[in-house]
Structure 1
């Protein structure tokens, strides 16, 4: 493994960790398009590029999510009842989604990623206000939402923040608390997703050295080494910025990621 690529992974970890803390996302939205670009440059077979990017991203999200969760929890910005209600469905949905993702070719996954991210960005820019009376749904409703978030997260290798944050704010949860809660929900999603891609990639031959399943471990270790340091910095800033500014930054991030993914995979 060339030192140049290690340096790239370290830089990616710094950016990913900061964004994870700032927006409550796992960081997969940033990692997947960049990892896909790197794996293409490393000569990975076209049919395996997206699956390796997805699996590696999910594994790298785990330590990032832990660091982000701890930082937000210190500021009492985690809605633990919502976490416990969403997590079971998210686990099941994420693990099941990895099997669908590994069956699909790279191009449809890239298009799905871009369309979904763009949709969420538009919703954030429009800044539609929820009805004042709207609250979180009951146990079955939360489980269903968690399953949906987990399934989509597996398809695009995100910690769920791009869905969890808008959903919670739609239910009148304060934005900073929604971000902290999303970071907590992202941890079980990342664990289930990483395990799913690990299992699905084991039979595949011809992957790069140091790859186990669909997880490229040099990238995971380098990204995690820096992301755990920068995630608390992002969380600190999230509690200082105005809500309107946070929403605009979130939307711009998603649009940029969607464009980069299409450019990388569809070329």
Structure 2
């Protein structure tokens, strides 16, 4: 053991053992990324190739049709998806950010109820989405009497992504150095002034990135919407909070279950549209992070 503590032994270990393990670990990471990207590229190429005949204006200009796939579109599903994501963002993002501010800046961690809240937030992030659909069906749609409209779907998706928004926002707030807060307090600022003018602006990149990624998960969820009565065939766009609605995942599922090949082509084209929306949202998250990120 004494030999291992000598400078020469330490140099030998650093030059022989550690680089090999580091190279193996780096190679494993590169292989993992290559496999993930490879599956993504194969999926995109396959879907674009299969859905190319219907990747035209008919897809977003026409309404769904049960009997005529050659003229069928997904306008109502696209509009319904935009309604859902917009309302989900309006409900989940302010609630999640304010909850994160309370837990990080105001909550007394010695209080038992604050510890219970933190534990439940961690647990809720791992609950399957179908459970949120059952909760929305039983509580929001029936007990609260909101029915099976767009608002009910958005509230259910908000519950689904709320733990993710809170966790991401807390991490972003926690990453702000304590010296920023201490300097603000030293200049006579109140706690709210410190949080609103120093902490939150510095945490915006992390909060925005986590929020957009959470909404990206919500946009692809189908199980909660099926529980809430999202229809597979809605030949009109929702115009109010309580109107019936459809969404791209529901419309894709309906087309895939049909026996005619034309509907499968439509499903592939709709998948490409959904992937494009997801890629745009993720690109915005990356841009916000790189644009406003600060190095402390």
Higher relative contact order (CA 8 A, sep 6+): 1
TM-score normalized by the length of structure 1: 0.27
TM-score normalized by the length of structure 2: 0.25
